[in-house]
Chains A and B, each alone.
Chain A
Amino acid sequence: MSFPAVLHAEWIKVRSLRSLVGSLISVFLATAGLTILVCATLGRPEPDSDDFVEPILFSYYGLNFGQMAALTFGAIAMAAEYKNGGIRVSLGAVPNRGLFYAAKLVVIAGLVFAVGLVTSLTSFLSGQALMDKGFGIGIGDPGALRAVVGCAFYLALLSLLAAGLAALLRSVTGSMCVLVPMFLIAPFVVGDVSQGGSAADFLPDRAGQQILLLHPEGPLGAWSGMAVLMAWSGLAVGAGWWALRRRDA
């Protein structure tokens, strides 16, 4: 079968579901919108204080909300196939399950990366512009471009993590029951228990967000943190593939 044809089919599936289009828009609105809103109205940091060493992070205030939209998108895009047994119709059209799974993941990650890049750039530029004169940095400054592109990678990897999990659990609800605690609760609980130690640093969000820092602390750097997130996503995608390949549809 032709891979572009299957990609085309997966693209039609995404654009024809309002919940998917909505969650993609939410990635942008939550991340860039909240960043602008908060930066413009509330917490301007005091750039002259000694501990202000991470100006980029200021631009990504909304990312913790936007990332939930990316997770939701990935989970819905995959789990929608399992609603009402629709997977049988899909696999009837594309019986090569590897091709089907790969095309779906490419479309999911590709769309989130594209939306993520626009989101990231908007967030970066607006956040830096809202900072007091002279303290904001430009896209050409060290670490800036890495953070902008890295944020798009980060969101794309999260959507893959969610999609792999959804293929394993075959349900949006089930997937979100794992993802919400993993991203909203675990970082704080594990962080507290380990006294700010290293275990929490290896959670997907902490590890992946190292890319936004100019001076990453802890065991993981910008790229090694991204590698840890890739391992998480790879694990989920692998588990989802195992389920899709082995189980009866």
Chain B
Amino acid sequence: MTSIDVKELTKEYGTTRAVDRLTFSVRPGQVTGFLGPNGAGKSTTMRLVLGLDRPTSGTATLGGRPYVEYDEPLRHVGALLDAQAAHGSRTARNHLLALAASNRIPARRVDEVLEEAGIARVAGRRIKTFSLGMRQRLGIAAALLGDPSVLILDEPSNGLDPEGIIWIRELMRGLAREGRAVLVSSHLMNETASFADHLVVLGRGRLLADTPMQDFIDSRIQPRVRLRTTEGSRLRTLLTSRGFTPVQGEDGRWIVEGARVEDVGPLAAADGIPILELATEEATLEQAYLDLTADEAEFASGSAAGPNRSTPHTSSHHANLSDPSSPSSSSSPSFRSVRSTTDQEV
């Protein structure tokens, strides 16, 4: 079983620290989501792990060895860094054939991965005629070429159509079930939530969180309930007296922050308030992530000013979280406490 171990990894470009004393591990048998806004250092970290860039200090090893020490590395580690990174004038098949040949992978394996990636039909076409989604599939085919026990994928669902997104999700989950270590970067929260078991979150090159996904959500997002009643004013009085702050929405439903259904239900029953609907609102990864990066933005700018965060609790759109600074201001735990959680994890 091979894992990825990053220890005290630091990469400086001039005076900029792209990766800052980063330490985390990617375990086999699960999909690890690698999150962070653009420029957080995800891609740089992946290049450092693959020995393409040299770290300023620190180490990155796969199964205890640096990538560059692997003989025929494609048989151990498969990577997709950039779907555009292939010469456009070559056919897809020739592109894979050259990669396979260098690692003494038989040519029939090329046809297998082309089939698996769903691009066997266009294997003889030149790559420059490919759409982004087809290039992405080609990149994934290249990563699978050597049947590796570690997969490193940088935004693999980029440019894929809905069918492709489901395919890559099932593929990654399947690879993890087979006992492989899968590291997948993304900035699509709902997408990541659909396949990741574990999360590593970066911000400005530093580790913000390294934790199982459900723990990450639970630790950052307060529970809340949604309810409907025929006696709103009595309910409000009751809950306010118990320290809750019920808010009535336009549709007549009440939202109670920080409450669980186990708190609200018995209270209402004891007071004889009729309840028409009572439900827990599921916290999403997106909210937890925004909460975390908001703290980070706050920490970095030293200012809590900004519009109130107004992410709907039940949001299900694919938010592109390229700018962590926009959803700023938060009343949740400070960045300092996030760091301490992180340190415990490590």
Q: Which residues of A contact B (CB under 8 A)?
A: 1-2, 5-6, 8-10, 12-13, 16-19, 80, 83-86, 88-89, 91-96, 248-249
A17-B89, A89-B86 known; 19 new pairs, CB 8 Å cut-off, are: A1-B102, A1-B103, A5-B101, A6-B102, A8-B101, A9-B99, A16-B90, A17-B90, A84-B85, A85-B84, A88-B50, A88-B52, A89-B99, A91-B52, A92-B52, A92-B79, A93-B73, A95-B68, A248-B47
Q: Is the CB of B73 within 8 A of A92?
A: yes
Q: Is the CB of A12 within 8 A of B94?
A: yes
Q: Is the CB of A8 within 8 A of B102?
A: yes
Q: What is the bound-complex CA distance between A5 and B91, given in angstroms?
A: 20
Query: Can you identify 16 A-B contacts, CB atoms within 8 angstroms?
Result: A1-B71, A1-B72, A1-B103, A5-B103, A8-B101, A12-B94, A13-B98, A16-B91, A19-B89, A84-B87, A85-B81, A86-B85, A88-B52, A89-B85, A92-B52, A92-B74
Q: Which residues of A contact B72 (CB under 8 A)?
A: 1
**Per-position contact with A for B60-79: 1 when CB-CB < 8 Å, else 0?**
00000001101111100001
Q: Which residues of A contact B89 (CB under 8 A)?
A: 17-19
Q: Does B53 contact A (CB under 8 A)?
A: yes
Contacting residue for A93 out of B74, B81, B82, B86, CB 8 A: B74
The answer to whether residues A12 and B52 also contact, given A17-B90, A95-B68 and a CB cut-off of 8 A, is no
Q: Is the CB of B101 within 8 A of A88?
A: no
* A171 smallest CB distance to B (angstroms): 14
Q: Is the CB of A95 within 8 A of B98?
A: no
Q: Does B133 contact A (CB under 8 A)?
A: no
* B148 smallest CB distance to A (angstroms): 11
Q: Does B142 contact A (CB under 8 A)?
A: yes
Of residues 45 to 61 in B, which have CB atoms within 8 Å of A's CB atoms?
47, 50-54
**Per-position contact with A for B95-121: 1 when CB-CB < 8 Å, else 0?**
101110111100000000000000000
Which residue from chain B places its CB closest to the CB of A103 in the assembled complex?
B102
Q: Which residues of B contact A249 (CB under 8 A)?
A: 47, 52-53
Q: Which residues of B contact A84 (CB under 8 A)?
A: 82, 84-88
Q: What is the bound-complex CA distance between A96 and B104, given in angstroms?
A: 15
Number of A-B contacts (CB under 8 A): 89
* A21 smallest CB distance to B (angstroms): 11
Q: Is the CB of B82 within 8 A of A96?
A: no
Q: Which residues of A contact B52 (CB under 8 A)?
A: 88, 91-92, 248-249
Q: Is the CB of A9 within 8 A of B101?
A: yes
Q: Which residues of A contact B79 (CB under 8 A)?
A: 92
Contacting residue for A16 out of B51, B67, B98, CB 8 A: B98
Which residue from chain A places its CB closest to the CB of B102 in the assembled complex?
A9
Q: What is the bound-complex CA distance between A13 and B102, given in angstroms?
A: 11
The answer to whether residues A17 and B87 also contact, given A8-B102, A93-B102 and a CB cut-off of 8 A, is yes
The answer to whether residues A94 and B47 also contact, given A88-B81, A89-B85 and a CB cut-off of 8 A, is no
Q: Which residues of A contact B82 (CB under 8 A)?
A: 84-85, 88
Q: Is the CB of B84 within 8 A of A80?
A: no
* B47 smallest CB distance to A (angstroms): 7
Q: Is the CB of B87 within 8 A of A86?
A: yes
Q: Which residues of B contact A8 (CB under 8 A)?
A: 101-102
Which residue from chain B places its CB closest to the CB of A1 in the assembled complex?
B71
* A5 smallest CB distance to B (angstroms): 5
Q: Is the CB of A95 within 8 A of B70?
A: yes
Which residue from chain A places its CB closest to the CB of B146 in the assembled complex?
A93
The answer to whether residues A5 and B104 also contact, given A92-B52, A92-B79, A96-B68 and a CB cut-off of 8 A, is yes
Q: What is the bound-complex CA distance between A44 and B244, given in angstroms?
A: 105
Closest 5 CB pairs of A and B: A9-B102, A16-B94, A248-B53, A9-B101, A249-B52
Q: What is the bound-complex CA distance between A1 and B146, given in angstroms?
A: 15
* A142 smallest CB distance to B (angstroms): 45
